[in-house]
Structure 1
Amino acid sequence: MLTESDILQALRDCYDPVLPCNIVDLGLVRSVTITPDREAPGANIPGVPPKNIIEVSVTPTQTDEASHAQLSAQISNRLAGLETVSRTNVTLLDSPHWTPLNITPAGRKILGLDGNPNLVQIR
């Protein structure tokens, strides 16, 4: 059975168009919803894994359309690679706005913000 944790793990392969960190550790992913797709090809056939529709809500770091398109395409393409995903819908949220306070401790480490006395610590 596909879980939110599985989706978030897959989304760690998707990177922000500007910042060199994955969208999960940047804190861009606001919500993930998994709904069974009862109309997917092969539904209700024994031995065929059930398919799901994935809804992902994301707060982008950038406001330009090119960044939005790149972010949406990365998410859709990455989740299309999961056997039990039939379709992905990405919603880009205008609010709440993303801030560096959303970055996880792992993201701060990736960006080199932890343990470097020359950089302002984000907490």
Structure 2
Amino acid sequence: MDERLDPMPDTEPASTEPSDAPPPDTTDGAISADQARLVLRRVKDPELNLNIVDLGLIYEVHVSGANVQIDMSLTSPGCPSGPEIMGEAEQQLRTIPGIGDVTMNLVWSPPWTPERIEPRVRAYMGF
């Protein structure tokens, strides 16, 4: 008697999606603000070792099709890591498939304060 050890049939399951459907991140060439924020979480302030989104340094993410404009601040106008942080942020945004122009705007109004830090991170830091 020939018994199968694998109870699953040898046929592939039927798919409800067409095989030529594009991946979710390239459906219409548009970039979402959530995609931008997600990659910006990879950028850390080297002194605090926390990402710039949780630190509240990202003020606005403006998206127009494939183009992204970021309004961000730093913890202080004299932050020695400012150019490094902004350069890394731009570099990470450029890793998004289909990204167009990336514009980084350094803004000082309103000034950054610890209250801009994500509440869970602020609690972790003891604020």
- Calculate the TM-score normalised by the size of structure 2: 0.69
CA contact (8 A) 1:68 1:92 kept: no
Instruction: Give the distance between the partners of 1:19 and 1:60, measured in 2 at CA.
Output: 12
Shift of 1:65: 6.8
1:61 pairs with one of 75, 78, 99: 75
Bigger radius of gyration among the two: 2
Shift of 1:16: 1.7
In structure 1, the gaps of 5 or more residues are 37-51, 114-118
Instruction: Give the distance between the partners of 1:66 and 1:83, measured in 2 at CA.
Output: 31
Question: What secondary structure sits across from 1:101 in the alignment?
Answer: helix
1:25 pairs with one of 54, 66, 91: 54
CA contact (8 A) 1:32 1:57 kept: yes
- Calculate the TM-score normalised by the size of structure 1: 0.71
| 2:33 match | 4
After superposition, the C-alpha distances for 1:86-111 in whole angstroms (9 at most, x for unaligned) are 221111111211111111023235xx
Instruction: Give the distance between the partners of 2:59 and 2:85, measured in 1 at CA.
Output: 14
Cα 1:4–1:69 shift into 2, 3 Å: same
| Count of aligned pairs | 98
Identity of aligned residues (%): 26
Code of the residue aligned with 1:27 in structure 2: it is G
